[in-house]
Structure 1
Amino acid sequence: MESGLMSPSLSLAADSNQTLTYAKDMSNFITQVFAEQLPVIKTGFFNVHMSQGVVITPHWHTNATELVFLISGELQTSVFNPFTQQLMTYQLRPGQVSQFPPGWFHWLVALTDNTHLLTIFDVPTPDIVYGGDFLRSLPPEVAARAFCINPVAYAQTVAPIQKPVILGPPPDCSPAPGSGKSNQ
């Protein structure tokens, strides 16, 4: 039996609204329950609230499987299968789930306002590698050699990514000229 289960201060309850992980604004935020909030837990989750068009930016987990459970709203999940080189996209409605294996690059987009979901992990502390952090850390000369792209254009493109972007687009984002889309 685990020693934590024998502790006189054992608690088997936590409030997922108490620990704010990230807030973009009052309608788009993430709270959590992981080992820090519930020490005997072998899993954990993020409690996510999103508005239409907001994205949990592309990322992957080196050490965890993630299960997305949609509580309300509509959500699109996308994951890149590294074995088949295929992008797999699913549209979820309340009660439906999507799963991401460790190391698989993925993202989520809220299709409606008041989207509420849990992202549940099989470890008490998941590693998270954000695509934006990777892009802004990749030296332009390496991008040029690896992908035959203009290093100056690459540097200009990733320059606005100054810190991790968890729920995108960032508040100061403006559409790229002529694209009708975000420049980040």
Structure 2
Amino acid sequence: MDSSIDYTAPSTQFAFDVNKSPFFKKDSYNFMNILGVQQLNTLDNISLLDIFLSANNNIEPHYHPNAAELVYCISGEIVVSILNPFTKQYKHYTITPGQVANIPQGWWHYQMATEDRTHILAIFNASTPEVILGSDILKLTPSNIMAHTYCMNENEYKKAIAPVMPSTYIGPPKNCNKTTTDNQQYYPNHFINQSYPMQ
């Protein structure tokens, strides 16, 4: 066994309460708890996010440069959407309790709850997974570079992304007042017919 962990040290931890480790909270129905090596020092190349979502809430588009992700559904229903970088196509996988979806390292993806009280685990093969969020890319890349790259007016680009908050994690924002009809094009019911439910 090759490990840098000293399992005999007095500070060695073997148990932890993930409920006491909040990572992100949108409201009392949409939040994440975290477990990594900072919380449990005997973890070796594994970590997780304990995620709770209500219907039509989603984990924003993002990718993990240093980790693959296994999404396990505990309750409710969630659509896991993955952009295959080789085929340039999205695949949408509807998973329910006991089912999983695998996201390879570095692949762009997002998850959308289709039922209230959806509870999932996002399990990573890294003790501290890195994340690049879509909101951070939009807000932190200089607007003149984005506008130039895509042949846009810089002021129009700035106006378009003005409502985007860096490190959104769970969307849409609490103050979102779009109508249900407007939201239909973004939410899971729109692409349920294109999803690939588990058999």
TM over 0.5: yes
Rounded to whole Å, the distance in 2 between the matches of 1:68 and 1:171 is 25
Contact 2:81 2:91 (C-alpha < 8 Å) held by counterparts = yes
Q: How far apart, CA to CA, are the structure 2 residues paired with 1:164 and 1:170?
A: 12
Q: Which residue of 2 aligns with 1:172?
A: 175
- Give distance in 2, aligned partners of 1:20 and 1:85: 35
Count of matched residue positions in the alignment of Structure 1 and Structure 2? 182
- Determine which of 72, 87, 90 is the counterpart of 1:87: 90
- TM-score, normalized by length of structure 1? 0.91
Which runs of no fewer than 5 residues in structure 2 stay unpaired? 187-199
Q: What displacement does 1:132 show?
A: 0.7
Question: Aligned equivalents of 1:163 and 1:101: distance in 2?
Answer: 24
For 1:16-40, what per-residue CA distance to the aligned partner results, in whole angstroms no more than 9, with x for missing partners?
Answer: 1110001101111111111011101
What do the CA deviations read for 1:56-104 (whole angstroms, capped 9, x no partner)? 0001111011110000000000011111111111000111111111211
- Aligned positions of 1:1-184 closer than 5 A: 2-42=4-44, 43-175=46-178, 179-180=182-183
Distance in 1 (CA, whole Å) between partners of 2:73 and 2:158 is 37
Identity %: 35
Unaligned segments of structure 1, at least 5 residues? none
CA distance in 1, matches of 2:153, 2:63: 27
Q: Contact 2:135/2:165 (CA < 8 Å) preserved in 1?
A: no
Conserved 8 A contact 1:174-1:182:
no
Alpha-carbon spacing, 1:41–1:174, altered in 2? closer, same or farther (3 Å)? same
Cα drift, residue 162 of structure 1: 3.3
> Aligned in 2, Cα 1:93/1:162: closer, same or farther, shift over 3 Å?
closer
3-state SS in 2 of match to 1:76: strand
- What SS is found at the alignment partner of 1:5? coil
Where has structure 1 moved over 6 Å in runs of 4 or more? none
For residues 162 and 72 of structure 1, what CA distance do their matches in structure 2 show? 29
Contact 1:169 1:182 in 2 (8 A): no
CA RMSD in angstroms, aligned pairs only: 2.0
Spell out, residue by residue over 1:118-158, the C-alpha distance to the aligned partner (whole angstroms, 9 max, x if none).
00000110001100110112333322332233332221111
For 2:128 and 2:47, the matched residues in 1 are separated by 7
